[in-house]
Amino acid sequence: MEKEFYVYIMANHRNGALYTGVTSNLIKRVWQHKYDSTEGFTYKYQIHDLVYFEKHESSYSAIQREKRLKEWQRKWKLDLIESVNPYWNDLYETII
């Protein structure tokens, strides 16, 4: 079985602070953000909602995509989120 990798975006509320990350275990990583298991940006800004994610077949493609997204203008990220999640629902329940 090949490992899957994910690029994800989390937010503290609609149009609020955004965090973009990459992981090989989306459920575990989002849980860590939701329950403030580590200090950092998501802890400081109380970023707990998974609002976007995409699956990649390799760590390389996921990391490259994450780097590109981090260079994007904020408006582009908001448009990306709203293209698949127009109500900014927390998608965590859909992945567990």
Buried b (16+ CB within 10 A) or exposed e, 49-66: bbbbbeebeeeeebeebb
Calculate the CA dihedral of residues 67, 18, 80, 55 and round it to 10 degrees.
60
The residue ranges of every structural domain in the chain are 5-95
Taking only the tens place, the pLDDT of each residue in 25-73 is: 999 999 999 999 989 999 999 999 999 999 999 999 999 999 999 999 9
pTM above 0.85, yes or no: yes
First-to-last C-alpha distance (Å) of the chain:
20
CATH topology of domain 5-95: GIY-YIG endonuclease (3.40.1440)
